[in-house]
Structure 1
């Protein structure tokens, strides 16, 4: 088992599929958007033909209105019947969580979830000043999680995590990174964005909005989707829309590169055209 990481549009999926065919491996996708069914173009997930050729996990697992978080991703990994897999994708946080582990969460009832959903940062500060100091007052997701833990256990989140330390789920794993310069990556992003438009991105987003009717869903707030929704609102014309998606994707790529640089210091980095040979020698 090994992992391939890199910024969006760097060529990770194509390389992983090529290697999987050569090695007889299967693939676990590290992509927080490809996890959703019906989000095919915006997520740039592998084609139906590629999914038939190589077994993938972590793709088309849930619908956009179903809840998903890193603990569920780890459940997907644990259910894979073997470990002859290539872990690949741009959501490095998932890989980091698997390597470092996450704490087991208490049982959260629907009543507790509703009670915590108000996201009261001031209440969290009173309950647990240490935990609250580590998150932004606008981080409603972590505020809610902190309150859920407190309401479910009567323990401040900091105390709960101290008593329930994270449990790593991945053994030592070799990590290979696609190294790509900014100009090359920008061209790849432009090419992929153009392909998404040609494949029917606008129609896909129109379908998703009409079916789910809730722009607050994580899938509808993703890059490539949220910009099209703004286009529907008249914020951009079509040319501006395409440029906005390219710009926002390039910014995401930069954040991914920074995360990978700081969180995976032992990785092996090389340009795409050299990485296949390096991987085959290393494994």
Structure 2
């Protein structure tokens, strides 16, 4: 088992499929958009033919109006019957969490969830100023979780996590990163965006909006989707839509590269073609 990381549009999926076929491995996708059914073009997920060639986990698992978090990927990972897998995806935060570990959460009843929703960030600050100082006042997910922990255990989140330290899900995982220069990546992003629009990205987003009728869904806030929704609102022309998706994707790629650089110090980085040879030459150690 090993992980393959890199910024969006760097060629991770194609390389993972090529390596999986050569090594007789399967693939676990750690992608916050490919996990959704019905979002095929915007997520740039592997084609139907590619999914038939290599078994994938973490793709087409839930519908866009269903909630998920890193625990969903952990659940998927634990159900894989073997560990001859390549973990690949742009959402490196999930990979980091699986390596660093996650604390066992207390049992949260529906009553506690409803009660927590009535409270605010200020209530969390009073309950646990240390925990509150580490998160944004707009981070509704962590605010809710912190309040739920307090209501369920009568302990501050800080004290709870001290007594329930994170337990790694994956240990001693080799990590390989696709190294790519900014200009080459920008050109790949342009090409991918062009192909997405040609394949019917606008129609796909129109379908999603018509079916789910809720632009607040996380899936409809993803890059590629939110820009098309703005296009529907008359904010962009088709030419501006293309440029906006390219720009926002490039910004995402930069954030991903910074995250990978700071969070995975022991990774092996190399350009695409060279990285393939490095991995194949090390396969006996993986």
Pair in the same fold by TM > 0.5: yes
2:270 aligned with 1:250:
no
How many angstroms does 1:163 deviate by? 1.1
How many angstroms does 1:119 deviate by? 6.0
1:125-151: CA deviations, max 9, x gaps? 000000000011111111111111112
1:256-279: CA deviations, max 9, x gaps? 000000000000000012111010
Q: Give the distance between the partners of 2:251 and 2:227, measured in 1 at CA.
A: 14
Partner of 2:229: 229
Partner of 1:100: 100
Q: Report how many residues are paired.
A: 283
Q: Would the aligned equivalents of 1:29 and 1:87 in 2 still touch at CA under 8 Å? A: yes
Q: Give the distance between the partners of 2:152 and 2:204, measured in 1 at CA.
A: 39
Q: Give the distance between the partners of 1:55 and 1:119, measured in 2 at CA.
A: 44
Q: Give the distance between the partners of 1:154 and 1:210, measured in 2 at CA.
A: 43
Which range is displaced more, 266-275 or 112-121?
112-121
SS where residue 177 of structure 2 aligns? strand
2:114 aligned with 1:110:
no
Q: Which runs of 4+ in 1 moved over 4 A?
A: none
What stretches of structure 2 of length at least 5 have no aligned partner? none
How many angstroms does 1:111 deviate by? 2.5
How many angstroms does 1:193 deviate by? 0.3
1:18-62: CA deviations, max 9, x gaps? 000111100000101100000110000000010011000000011
CA RMSD of aligned residues (A): 0.9
Using a 3 Å threshold, how does the CA distance of structure 1 residues 23 and 119 change in structure 2: closer, same or farther?
A: farther
How many angstroms does 1:113 deviate by? 2.1
What stretches of structure 1 of length at least 5 have no aligned partner? none
2:39 aligned with 1:39:
yes
How many angstroms does 1:179 deviate by? 0.3
Tell me the TM-score normalised to structure 1 length.
0.98
SS where residue 198 of structure 2 aligns? helix
